[in-house]
């Protein structure tokens, strides 16, 4: 699958940070990980911390899949409201989903500092505004549900919104905790540590066959080498379908742009992350060097050719979206790109073992919170494989059932 158009921002900004050799011999390890994007990197790092040996393989280079195309807003706010999840799965499970995502933001912060990319992580509040007046009652109910769950939120009414922000909206939830990150640099920094500890990290190594056996798994690479492991973690992003036998989400196309540096430190109040109640939604964030990132304008098809032909037209629409909301901001597009994007019916990821694959864990963080979900997955999968405890939350598992 062609996961993204050319010139996604993070790989242009950072270049090829580190190249790893392809796997040219057969090896044994405790855990094999398919995929060296942000998910595979987080999981491998946590497995290493748990004292397990790891071999990570990627058919591309580290971070060159969806990770390089991500706009990387880190939010606890799942695309599906807490109120809706509570109706489907019960209030305790819905609150657990939200609070795990909230904790994940701090976990990623701590990791960024630990592996030396703290300067690319920035905490920022998140503003979730009503696109239409008709969305207001639901949004207010959502605000109340989050407050009752102990989440740090404030209600911004129409008059206050107008005073604080450069455009108007009928109301909004302002959340204290959200963040921005450079996911490509983080993936590289994590895997550099994984490799430095003597584990295998291999670019340009496609896994073409997986066989589950009693007591382990055997992976075969495109070059005919074998990886024999106790367990397998599939962190292959939107290409995980091959190992599951079905695609558990719908594939769409999404578009993004980044502006030239605006020369400003504060582009709007607190440089908060912004998104809206419309579906598909528009969203905005800033970067540490004063740029705007805008994204959205999603299409429901997945065809990479059709998607990439639309990048410039979509970029003009996104530019108009930015100018309409931030008319005072000096704004010129620097780069624009497109990526495949997947979402599940309920907006939740699939994390854990599938009944048909007892020695294989999946981390499929589909939805707008892909990176937050990957962090939750990394913590829980590593603990389960290390035998510490069963921690994959039921609401993120393949077994979850609506009421």
Ligand X SMILES: Cc1cc2nc3c(=O)[nH]c(=O)nc-3n(C[C@H](O)[C@H](O)[C@H](O)COP(=O)(O)OP(=O)(O)OC[C@H]3O[C@@H](n4cnc5c(N)ncnc54)[C@H](O)[C@@H]3O)c2cc1C
Residue ranges that bind ligand X, judged by CB under 6 A: 3, 34-40, 57-60, 64-67, 69-73, 206-207, 235-237, 239, 254, 256, 295, 339, 341, 365, 368-372, 374
Closest-by-Cβ residue to ligand X is 370
What whole-number distance in Å separates Cα of residue 151 and Cα of residue 145? 9
**Angle between helices 91-114 and 82-89 in degrees, nearest 10:** 130
Q: Residue 52 or residue 236: which is nearer to ligand X going by CB?
A: 236
Q: Residue 99 or residue 327: which is nearer to ligand X going by CB?
A: 99
Cβ neighbour number for residue 281 with a 10 Å cutoff: 18
* Distance of closest approach, residue 243 Cβ to ligand X, in angstroms: 8
Unique residue bearing structure tokens 């946590």: 46
Q: Residue 86 or residue 207: which is nearer to ligand X going by CB?
A: 207
Unique residue bearing structure tokens 């999603």: 298
239-254: b or e for each residue (b if 16 or more CB lie within 10 Å)?
bbbebbeebbbebbbb
* Distance of closest approach, residue 239 Cβ to ligand X, in angstroms: 4
* Distance of closest approach, residue 403 Cβ to ligand X, in angstroms: 27
Q: Is the Cβ–Cβ distance between 345 and 337 less than 8 Å? A: no
* Distance of closest approach, residue 369 Cβ to ligand X, in angstroms: 5
* Distance of closest approach, residue 8 Cβ to ligand X, in angstroms: 8
* Distance of closest approach, residue 105 Cβ to ligand X, in angstroms: 11
Phi/psi of residue 66, each to 5°? Answer: -60, -25
Q: Residue 57 or residue 286: which is nearer to ligand X going by CB?
A: 57
Q: Residue 72 or residue 272: which is nearer to ligand X going by CB?
A: 72
Cβ neighbour number for residue 390 with a 10 Å cutoff: 10
Q: Residue 82 or residue 148: which is nearer to ligand X going by CB?
A: 82
User: What DSSP letter does each residue of 126-175 carry, written as one string?
Assistant: EEEE-SSGGGHHHHHHHHHHHHHTT--EEEEEHHHHHHHSSS--SEEEEE
């Amino acid at each position: 699958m062609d996961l993204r158009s050319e010139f996604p921002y993070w790989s242009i900004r950072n270049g090829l940070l580190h190249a790893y050799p392809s796997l040219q011999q057969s090896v044994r390890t405790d855990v094999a990980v398919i995929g060296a994007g942000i998910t595979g990197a987080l999981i491998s790092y946590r497995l290493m911390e748990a004292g397990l040996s790891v071999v990570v393989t990627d058919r591309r280079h580290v971070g060159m899949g969806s990770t390089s195309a991500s706009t990387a807003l880190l939010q606890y706010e799942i695309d599906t409201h807490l109120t809706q999840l509570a109706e489907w799965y019960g209030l305790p499970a819905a609150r657990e989903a939200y609070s795990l995502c909230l904790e994940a933001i701090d976990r990623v912060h701590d990791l960024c500092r630990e592996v030396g990319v703290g300067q690319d992580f920035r905490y920022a509040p998140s503003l979730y505004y009503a696109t239409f007046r008709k969305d207001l009652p639901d949004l207010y109910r959502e605000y109340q549900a989050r407050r009752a769950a102990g989440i740090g939120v404030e209600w911004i009414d129409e008059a206050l919104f107008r005073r604080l922000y450069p455009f108007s909206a009928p109301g909004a939830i302002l959340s204290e905790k959200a963040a921005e990150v450079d996911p490509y640099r983080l993936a590289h920094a994590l895997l550099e540590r994984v490799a430095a500890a003597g584990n295998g990290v291999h670019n340009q190594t496609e896994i073409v066959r997986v066989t589950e056996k009693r007591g382990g798994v055997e992976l075969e690479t495109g070059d005919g080498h074998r990886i024999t492991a106790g367990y397998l973690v599939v962190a292959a992003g939107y290409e995980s379908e091959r190992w599951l036998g079905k695609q558990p989400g719908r594939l769409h196309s999404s578009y993004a742009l980044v502006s030239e540096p605006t020369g400003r430190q504060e582009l709007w109040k607190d440089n908060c992350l912004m998104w809206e109640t419309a579906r598909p939604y528009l969203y905005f964030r800033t970067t540490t060097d004063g740029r705007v990132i805008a994204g959205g304008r999603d299409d429901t098809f997945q065809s990479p050719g059709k998607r990439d032909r639309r990048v410039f037209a979509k970029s003009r629409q996104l530019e108009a979206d930015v100018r309409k909301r931030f008319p005072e901001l000096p704004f010129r597009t620097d780069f624009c790109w497109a990526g495949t994007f997947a979402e599940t019916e309920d907006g939740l990821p699939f994390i854990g073992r599938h009944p048909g694959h007892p020695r294989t864990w999946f981390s499929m963080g589909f939805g707008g919170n892909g990176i937050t979900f990957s962090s939750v997955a990394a913590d829980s999968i590593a603990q389960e494989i290390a035998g510490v405890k069963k921690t994959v939350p039921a609401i993120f598992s393949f077994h979850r059932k609506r009421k």
